[in-house]
Amino acid sequence: MQRIDPRAPRLGAAITSLLAMIGFVLTQLNQAVGLAILSLLTALFAWSLMSAKTHPYALLFRLIRPRLAKPEFLEDPRPPRFAQQVGLSVSVLGLLISVVDPLIGTLFGLGLVFIASALNAYFDFCLGCVIYLRIKRLQRALVQ
Amino acid sequence: MNIIFSALALVAITALIGFGYKSGGGKSLGLVPEVIELEKLLGVEASASGSRIILFTAEFCSKCPNLRRNLQSENIDFAEVDITDRLDLAAKLQINQTPTILILDSAGKIERKLTGSIKVSQIREFDGEELLDAKN
C-alpha cells in the first residue's frame, strides 16, 4: 500500500468546501447551476475512488508539492478514501432527493458536503475516526 | 438576505462542530464497570506485554498512527488492538470512535477511557509514572 502526503487530501477537501459553498449560495439564485455543481462534486468523489492518481486535485497537489517542505510523515490512504466514500454517498443522496425536490436536494447535498469537507480541511477532522465505528455498529444492530 | 444568512448558518454549524471536536479531544468518558479480561478479549499479545494502556485503532482512523508514534517516542508501553473487525469488542467496551485509549488498573479494571485527539500528557496525568514504562 503506497502511503500519501497528508496535505494532499486536505487540499482536496479545501477545494471541495469552496465549490460546495459556491454551489450552496448559487442554488438559491439559480437551481440549475447548484445542481450542476453538486453533480460535478459527485463526479469528483467517484473519480477519486476509481483513480485517485489521475484526479485533478492530485495533479494540482503534484504542482504545489515541490514548493512545500517535506511532510513529517506519510499517511495511510484508507482514511481519506473513506471520507471520499462518505462524500459520494451524501452527494448521491442529495441528487436523489433533488429528483423529488431540486431545491431541497441540492441544498442538502451541498450543505452536508460543505460541512464534512470544511471540517476535514480546516479542523483536521477525521471522519473515519468519528463515524466509521458508529455506522458499523448501527449496521450490526440492524442485522441482528 | 436569506442567501447570506443560510451561508453564514452553514459556516457557523461547521465551526461549532469543528471547535467542539478540537476542544473535546482526549476527554474522559463513562467507564465500563467491569474487569477486562485481557487474554480473553485481546489475545495473548496484550497480556504478554504486561501493558495497562490499550490503544484501540481502526482501519479508517487517520489520527491513530500519529498517536501510536507519540506513545512510542515517549517510551510508553501499550498494547494496540485494531477493532475494525471486532465490533463485538467495540460494543462491549462502548467504543464509538477511534483512537480510544483504555487505562487499566493492576486488576484489569478500566480506570480511564480517553477518546478523540488524545495527547500523551493526558495519559501521564492519570496515574503517574508507575503506569508507564511497564516494561522497564
Q: How far is CA B98 from the centre of its chain?
A: 6
Q: Quote the number of domains for chain B.
A: 1
ipTM: 0.83
Q: Is residue A61 part of a domain?
A: yes
Q: Is residue A120 part of a domain?
A: yes
Structural domain of B50? 26-131
Q: Is residue A128 part of a domain?
A: yes
Note whether B66 contacts A73, CB cutoff 8 Å. yes
CA nearest to A45, candidates A3, A73, A87: A87
Note whether B69 contacts A6, CB cutoff 8 Å. no
Q: Is residue A82 part of a domain?
A: yes
Q: Is residue A109 part of a domain?
A: yes
CATH classification of the domain holding B40: 3.40.30.10
Structural domain of A130? 7-143
Model pLDDT, residue A23: 97
Distance from CA of B19 to the nearest CA of A (A): 8
Please write down the long-range contacts of B62-65, taking CB distance under 8 Å and 24 or more positions apart.
B62/A6, B62/A75, B62/A76, B62/A79, B62/A80, B62/A126, B62/A128, B62/A129, B63/A126, B63/A129, B63/B98, B63/B99, B63/B116, B63/B117, B64/A129, B64/B98, B64/B99, B65/A73, B65/A75, B65/A76
Distance from CA of B111 to the nearest CA of A (A): 23
The length of chain A in residues reads: 144
Could you tell me which residues are beta bridge partners of residue B82? B57
First-to-last C-alpha distance (Å) of chain B: 65
The pTM (predicted TM-score) of the whole model is: 0.82
Nearest to A137 among B6, B59, B87 (CB): B87
- What average pLDDT is seen over chain B? 76
Contact A2, A77 (CB under 8 A): yes
What stretch of H or E contains B37? none
Q: Is residue B18 part of a domain?
A: no
Q: Is residue B50 part of a domain?
A: yes
Note whether B87 contacts A136, CB cutoff 8 Å. yes
Model pLDDT, residue A91: 97
Q: Is residue A1 part of a domain?
A: no
Half-sphere exposure of B30 (CA within 13 A, CB side): 6
Q: Quote the number of domains for chain A.
A: 1
Q: Is residue B20 part of a domain?
A: no
Distance from CA of A20 to the nearest CA of B (A): 11
Indicate whether B1 pLDDT > 70.
Answer: no
Nearest to B14 among A118, A129, A132 (CB): A118
Model pLDDT, residue B129: 47
Q: What would the grid cell of residue B84 be?
A: 475494525
Q: How far is CA A108 from the centre of its chain?
A: 14
Tell me which residues of chain A have a pLDDT lower than 70.
Answer: none
Nearest to B60 among A28, A78, A111 (CB): A78
CA nearest to A113, candidates A4, A14, A3: A14
Backbone angles phi, psi at A109, to 5 degrees: -60, -50
Report the percentage of chain B scoring pLDDT > 70. 69
In tens, the pLDDT along B47-105 reads 445 567 889 998 888 889 889 998 998 888 888 888 887 888 888 888 888 999 988 77
Residue of B nearest to A73 (CA): B66
Contacts of B62 in chain A (CB under 8 A): 6, 75-76, 79-80, 126, 128-129
